[in-house]
Structure 1
Amino acid sequence: MLQNLLLFSGFAGITVFIGGLLANFFNHHIRETPVKYEITHTMMSFGAGIILSAIALVLIPKGLEELTVLPMAISFTAGVLIFLYIDQYLAKNGSKNATLLAMMMDFIPESIALGATFAVDPKMATLLAVFIGLQNLPEAFNSYRDMVGSGFTAQKTLIIFFVLSFFGIGGALIGHYFLTDSPILTAHLMTFASGGILYLLINDIIPESKLKNNYLTSLGAAFGFLVGIIGEKLI
């Protein structure tokens, strides 16, 4: 079981690095054209749709399932306020890493849930790992562009993404060994993450993905959410 857990959580995480590699190739080997500009913004909105589906279909339902109204509201509000503060701090320092924050706030709780689920329902955990991996690709693609745009070199960004790709294994092991019998704590973690992600999504990611007189970005968000629906249906 441990071998399978490491294998699938490793797959879920390595797509962070793969998404960064794809963005690096796209940035440096595809010439600048209006079409390229539209593709990058559509990828941003596609990632936003997937992130939104993670909130609506994975993170919040777990909170609703395990928590009463007041604890759930407190965890959600704490996530919003803490990420409001983080976002303001990053803005003052000229950083544009909201997509990276949203990706990790989505990726880590879901990896923990993956580890906690693996002991109970390996089939569901396997599908969850595939879903997380599919989410990470467009999110990492967008995060790479944000980080390079905020001053990081391509090499440093890829090194960071390579390290982050192993966070899935760490989160899954924590979930498997420490939170399998703690559904309330897992639910608080997911609800907290939901508040933070939703704030970043509405304040930073969605406005950045919008293009004037272009409808591909809206389609990208809708189809990104559809990916989440399909993943949840399969799970």
Structure 2
Amino acid sequence: MLLLEILLLTLLAGLSMPAGALVARLEHIHPRWLEKEFRHSVIAFGGGALLSAVALVLVPDGIEHLNTRMALIWFLLGGLVFMLIDVLLNLFKTSASQLVAMLADFIPESIALGAAFALGGSNGLLLALLIGLQNMPEGFNAFRELRHSSHYSANRIIVTFALMALLGPVAGLVGFIWLAAYPAFVSAVMLFAAGGILYSVFQDIAPQARLARHWGPPMGAVLGFALGIAGHMLTV
């Protein structure tokens, strides 16, 4: 039963990526300024959800089984690896930077989710909720990036995102079956993901979310984090 729950939660969290892409495809809001503010608010909402995952789950659970030195090493390593990915994407001028960033968040978080259930922690459900909350805006943003900078059709992008969602259950199973016996390694994965996510928020999401003389996007980030707090308080 627990195994089925992990498969279902990781799949639903992953399916929020094509759901976000569908919203981006159907996005036709008038007047033009409102459409622009909505788009930036969605991006900021994803940033708030990512920050809540870092602050409420990944770092608190990650430091539980590691000493200070190892915790800092894995956290900083996550940031450095995501920075290296960013540099390589920029070097090769790929049109899929948001797509890669989305997967780089989703896979280690799904591994951590499976391991959290195996270890009997109370944060597995919360982590699944936060993964879903952040994947929808990331899917929205990645869809727009691919549509504007590649020749891929909208349907092909959405189907690709749906297939990518299947990686969630696979990663969740890895965490549940093989990594739960190594809580220190699971903690390392969580801190690695946290460092990478924090880098992504300030490198990619926050700069894209800002609009001069508009105040909706920052409140989108607050709302994203607020939903993380609500989920934390309801599941603990």
Q: TM-score, normalised by structure 2?
A: 0.88
Match of 1:53 in 2: 52
Q: Match of 2:213, SS?
A: coil
Q: Which residue of 2 aligns with 1:206?
A: 206
* Partners of 2:126 and 2:195 in 1: CA distance: 25
2: CA distance, partners of 1:126 / 1:47: 18
Deviations 1:173-223 (A, max 9, x none): 111111122111111111111111111211221011100011111111111
Q: Deviations over 1:156-176 (max 9, x none)?
A: 322321121111111111111
Alignment of 1:158-177 (within 5 A): 158-177=158-177
Instruction: Provide the rounded CA distance (Å) in 2 between the counterparts of 1:106 and 1:85.
Output: 15
AA paired with 1:221? A
Amino acid aligned to 2:70: P
CA RMSD of aligned residues (A): 2.2
Alignment size in residue pairs: 233
Q: Could you tell me how far 1:130 is from its partner in structure 2?
A: 3.4
Please show how residues 88-107 of structure 1 align to structure 2 within 5 Å. Answer: 88-95=87-94, 97-107=96-106
Q: Report % sequence identity.
A: 39
Indicate if the aligned counterparts of 1:47 and 1:142 stay in contact, CA closer than 8 A. Answer: no
Contact 2:49–2:130, Cα closer than 8 Å, also in 1: no
Partners of 1:170 and 1:210 in 2: how far apart?
35
Name the CA distance, whole Å, in 2 between partners of 1:89 and 1:199: 15
Shift, 1:50, TM fit: 0.7
Paired letter, 2:43: M
Q: Which residue of 2 aligns with 1:76?
A: 75
- Which stretch of the first structure deviates more once superposed, 179-188 or 154-163? 154-163
Could you say which residue in structure 2 is the equivalent of 1:7? 8
Distance 1:32 1:146, change over 3 A: farther
Distance apart, 1:32 and its partner CA: 7.1
Structure 1: give runs of 5+ residues left out of the alignment: none
TM-score under structure 1 length normalisation: 0.89
Kindly indicate whether the alpha-carbon contact (under 8 Å) linking 1:46 and 1:224 is maintained by their aligned counterparts in 2.
Answer: yes
The farther-off stretch of 116-125 and 154-163 is 116-125
Q: Which amino acid aligns with 1:41?
A: H
Q: 2:119 and 2:185 mapped to 1: Cα distance?
A: 17
* Structure 2: distance between partners of 1:134 and 1:210: 20
Q: Runs of 5+ in structure 2 lacking a partner?
A: none
Shift of 1:155: 3.2
**Runs of 4+ with deviation above 6 angstroms:** none
Give the alignment of 1:92-171 within 5 angstroms.
Answer: 92-95=91-94, 97-121=96-120, 125-151=124-150, 153=152, 154-171=154-171
Q: Which residue number corresponds to residue 36 of structure 1?
A: 35
Q: Confirm or deny: 8 A CA contact 2:47 2:205 kept in the other structure.
A: yes
